[in-house]
Structures are given as structure tokens and as C-alpha cells.
Amino acid sequence: MNKYIRLIIALTASAGYGLLLRYIVPSSEPYFILGIGLVGYLAWLYGITIGLVSALILVPITSHIYSQFEISTSYISVVSSPAYIAIKILTAISLGHLRNMNRMLSKRAATLEDANESLQSALAQVQEFGGIHSLCTHCKRILDDNGNWQKIDTYLKENTKAEFSHSICPDCSIEYKNQLDQSESNKN
């Protein structure tokens, strides 16, 4: 949510609470309980610190408004009681913590979504080599889709992501050496 929108909402809620207490309090209903909701809402919007500050600021404001009217002293004593203040503080801490957890989980979800998208993209690029292919039993060339016989390493390089380097296995090395020795002995 945009920070300016959050500020407007917070100011509107605070002003609404103040106006509610100022103009509806004479009905002698315990509207100060709404202060707990306001503290929780501010803690949700801005975090624990703002929630705690608003909890402590609302106590004298609410006491002052209630003291201006001929209301039962029990409401005034409840507004400034440690239990009421503790409820506001616990509300601020709880909802501020929930806000932080919610933001952290949202970030993790976004990170996982990005990772999932990159994995899906990588998976889409993987070419699978399967099916039945004709392979020459003598020269080991493979028949491609166009009917051309290619070296198997060239075919696999063009149709998969495989890369090749050439070397001689031990068995072929011995055979090649024997052929080389025979050709030299034939020359002599």
C-alpha cells in the first residue's frame, strides 16, 4: 500500500476516534474501547513502534476528553488503568508482529514465485532426446529427420544441449596402436 494512502487512513482513523469520543461520549457509552482497535490498526499499518507510541498517546487524550463530561468516574479510571494500557500495548505488539510476519511471508512467497518461474523457464528449454533412431552398426552414424546420415556427436549436439570432446578409449587405443604397428611392419 502506498505510504501516503496509509498516512491518510491513519490520520482519518485517529481523527474519527477523537471526534467519536468528543461528540458521542456524552451518551455515556464506553467508546474508549475503540482505542484498542485504533492502536491495533496503526500497529498493523506502521509496525510495533508506532502502535506503542499511539497506545501511550491515546491514554491522556482519552482521559482528557472523558474528564470534560459528567460521566461516571469508572470510565475515566478504566481509561487510565494499567490493565487498559497493557491491553493496548499487547495489541500493538501482537498486531505489529503479525504485520512483520505477513510482510516476511509475502517476500518469501515472491522469492519462491520468481524461483519457480525461472525453473519453469529452464524446464521449457530442456530438449528431451527420445524415441527410436536408426544407427549404422558399422560406422555409428545416425539417420536424421531429413534422411541424412550424420555423425552421432554432431546429431546429438544439434538436437540436444549435449557438448562433446573427443578422446580415445583404452580398448580403441590398443587397437589403434596395433593397427599402427601393423602398417609400419608392412612398410618395412
Cβ burial of 184 (10 Å; 0-12, 13-18, 19+) is exposed
Q: Output the tens digit of pLDDT for each of the chain's 188 residues.
A: 788 888 888 889 888 888 877 777 656 667 777 888 888 888 888 888 888 888 888 888 877 777 776 666 666 777 778 888 888 888 889 988 998 999 999 999 999 999 999 999 888 876 666 778 888 888 889 888 888 999 888 888 888 777 778 788 888 888 888 888 888 888 76
Q: Where are the alpha helices (DSSP H) in 80-160?
A: 82-125, 152-159
Same domain, residue pair 87 and 167: no
Alpha-carbon separation of residue 56 from 82, 179, 183 (angstroms): 11, 96, 100
Residues 118 and 169 in one domain: no
What gap in Å lies between CA 66 and CA 22, rounded to an integer?
8
Residue 130, H or E segment: none
Is 151 part of any domain? yes
Domains contained in the chain, number: 2
Pair (160, 70) in one structural domain: no
- The range of the structural domain enclosing residue 80 comes to 3-124
Half-sphere exposure in the Cβ direction for 102 (13 Å, CA):
11
Question: DSSP letter string over 46-82?
Answer: H-HHHHHHHHHHHHHHHHHHHHTS---HHHHHHHTSH
* Domain co-membership, 99 together with 179: no
Distance CA 59, CA 12 (A): 18
Query: Last residue of a domain, which of 94, 124, 154?
Result: 124
Residue 86 CA to residue 99 CA, distance in Å, equals 20
Give the three-class secondary structure for 147. coil
The answer to the question of residue 164 being in a domain is yes
